[in-house]
Every structure is written in structure tokens, then in C-alpha cells.
Amino acid sequence: MEQIRELPGGKCIRKYSPEHPLFDAGTHLWAAKYYQVPGSMVQLEEAASDEMKQSPDITCRLANCNINFQSVAAYEEHYDMLHRNICRECSRSFLSLRLLDIHISETHDAFFKILSKKKPMYVCLVDGCPE
């Protein structure tokens, strides 16, 4: 069933029901992806692992790292852990931008050092904590 609503200026909005033939191709793709026959997922995983064995390793060339990875996901995890949040002063790596900011303030900021001598300075290390 199709509903047509005209807008000012001559344009119109059409609403189709989910069962409309226009959506058949997408519905078939969706059903094939989410409603697999038992055992077919195993076949897909085996095919993917065979492709992984044939694909060349990914090598991290940043900062003379030279570590090989079997998958893009493993490389991305490595990159996020070691190469994303790096202090430019001392080259230390941090898990989050917040921890990097805290490190820069506590270690490399002269203003923070002066203030910390006058009164205790602290910041909560938990992400999202306002203290």
C-alpha cells in the first residue's frame, strides 16, 4: 500500500508499507544475513578464516614498531593502545585522551607545578567524573 502526501511547492512524500515490492531485494539480503540456516554460519566463518590465512600480514611501521598482525582488527587495537594518545614531550602512550591531558598537566605544565606547591591538586582518573 502506498500513501502520497503533497507538500507546498509541488513536492510529495510517499510512504510504502514494509511489504511493498520495492523493499524485496533488501528484505532478502537482511533475511540471508540474520536468518542463516544452522551450520551455514560455520561455513561462513571457515571461509573467512581461509581468507585470513591467505591474506598478507599487516605490519605496524609507526615509531619503529615493526609488529605483524593477522587482521585489521588486531592492528587497530594495537594502534589505539600504543599510538593514538602519545605525549609529545616524553613519548609515553596513554589509553585515553583524558589520561594524556592529566599527564601533561601533572608532568609538563609549569603552572600546575606552582599551584600544586600551594595547595593539593588532584583530578579523578575515571572518565566522566567531574572531580
Domain residue limits, the chain: 2-54, 84-118
Q: Which residues of 31-45 are buried (b: 16+ CB within 10 A; e: fewer)?
A: eeeeeeeeeeeeeee
Q: Is the pLDDT of residue 41 over 60?
A: no
Using pLDDT thresholds of 50, 70 and 90, give the confidence band for residue 121.
confident
Using pLDDT thresholds of 50, 70 and 90, give the confidence band for residue 128.
confident
pLDDT at 61: 83
Q: Is the pLDDT of residue 14 over 70?
A: yes
Q: Which residue has the higher pLDDT, 58 or 30?
A: 58
3-state secondary structure the chain: CEEEEECCCCCEEEEECCCCHHHHHHHHHHHHHHCCCCCHHHHHHHHHHHHHHHCCCEEECHHHCCEEECCHHHHHHHHHHHCCEECCCCCCEECCHHHHHHHHHHHHCHHHHHHHHHCCCCCCCCCCCCC
pLDDT at 47: 63
Q: Looking at residues 13-24, what average pLDDT do you find?
A: 76
pLDDT tens for 53-84 read 555 678 888 877 888 888 888 888 888 888 88
Across the chain, mean pLDDT equals 77
Q: Looking at residues 12-39, what average pLDDT do you find?
A: 69
